Chains A and B, each alone.
Chain A
Amino acid sequence: MANYYLETSAFLKRYKQEKGSNFVNKLIEDSSSSVFYLNLTIAEISKVFFRLYKYPQDLERDKQISKEVFEKFQNQFAQDLLKMKKISLTEEIIEKTKKILEKGYLKSVIDLLHLSAFLITKEEFSDIKLVTSDGKIVEIVEKFISKSIIINPEDYE
């Protein structure tokens, strides 16, 4: 049984068909794999849905979605989460961010927390792989782990 840590940037490919979506869909639907996510992801993905529903950004050319579509997103997302393994943001994760920062700088605190959560999860599940489409995370994580356990789903299309 394979273990994967699905970081938010890759997770979002589940909800729109684009480069990398097939890989993410297979992960979520394959019951023989364990897919882990950090609870912070719930807020991150909900924020993207809310942005499209209530706060479309003109400069970014967002397309506003209806309440009905918004609810479809939320409901599908909820169903997906229930199939996955939730990791809680702990104080150990927060403390470990300092060790990451000693080796490299990540501008986004959320990126830092994801990377920290992944590295701690890896201490418990040594075979776990990181699935991410965030180039900044990849750049730093390579300082801690082998490239072979980092998966960018966009490379699988």
Chain B
Amino acid sequence: MKQEQKLEIRAENTAVITGPKQGWLLRISGIGPYVEPGGILDWEKISPKRLSWPTYLPWEEREEVIPLVLPERLTNPHYGSAELEQNLREMAKKAPGIHKVWEVTKDLPSLTKILLEEREQE
């Protein structure tokens, strides 16, 4: 007894089509010699049983795919270094000398301790 065979046609840009071997009428274009003049698909001539054909969407429905390129400031670790260097040079011109700094920090708590506390709370 001949077993009814189920076949699957998977086509790009379409849903999967499944059905019995006999009786499929596919109104598709571009398959060429595998479609009989009456529109009946000759399965024996198609192997592998996977069809694809281009689907043309109206221009306005297409999504334009633009690859995301990150700006240099997000990828270059040296970005901004010229500005940092410039700022340091400007500030350094007004450096008071370390002895002046010690005079004003005499009554302050240990800066090292402040840092270590901050790290502890990180």
Assembled-state Cα–Cα distance A47/B114 (Å): 10
- Given the known A-B contacts A15-B101, A48-B114, A90-B77, are A75 and B94 also in contact in the complex, defined by CB atoms under 8 Å? yes
A82 touches B92 (CB 8 A): yes
Q: Which of B12-20, B42-50, B104-112 contacts A (4 or more CB under 8 A)?
A: B104-112
- Given the known A-B contacts A9-B115, A12-B111, A18-B112, are A75 and B104 also in contact in the complex, defined by CB atoms under 8 Å? no
Assembled-state Cα–Cα distance A110/B92 (Å): 26
Assembled-state Cα–Cα distance A109/B95 (Å): 31
Q: Which residues of A contact B63 (CB under 8 A)?
A: none
B110 touches A16 (CB 8 A): yes
How many residues in A have their beta carbons less than 8 Å from beta carbons of B?
Answer: 46
A157–chain B nearest beta-carbon distance, Å: 13
Do most interface residues of chain B lie in helix, strand or loop, or is the interface mixed?
helix
A65 touches B104 (CB 8 A): yes
Of A9, A48, A69, A82, the residue contacting B104 (CB under 8 A) is A69
Do most interface residues of chain A lie in helix, strand or loop, or is the interface mixed?
helix
Q: Which of A55-63, A96-104, A119-127, A140-148 contacts B (4 or more CB under 8 A)?
A: A55-63
- Flag whether A138 is at the interface (Cβ < 8 A): no
A118–chain B nearest beta-carbon distance, Å: 16
**Digit string of A106-117 for contact with B (CB within 8 Å is 1, else 0)?**
011111000000
B interface, CB within 8 angstroms of A: 77-78, 84, 87-98, 100-102, 104-112, 114-120, 122
A interface, CB within 8 angstroms of B: 8-10, 12-18, 20, 25, 42, 44, 47-48, 51-52, 60-63, 65, 69, 71-79, 81-82, 88-90, 107-111, 133-134, 136
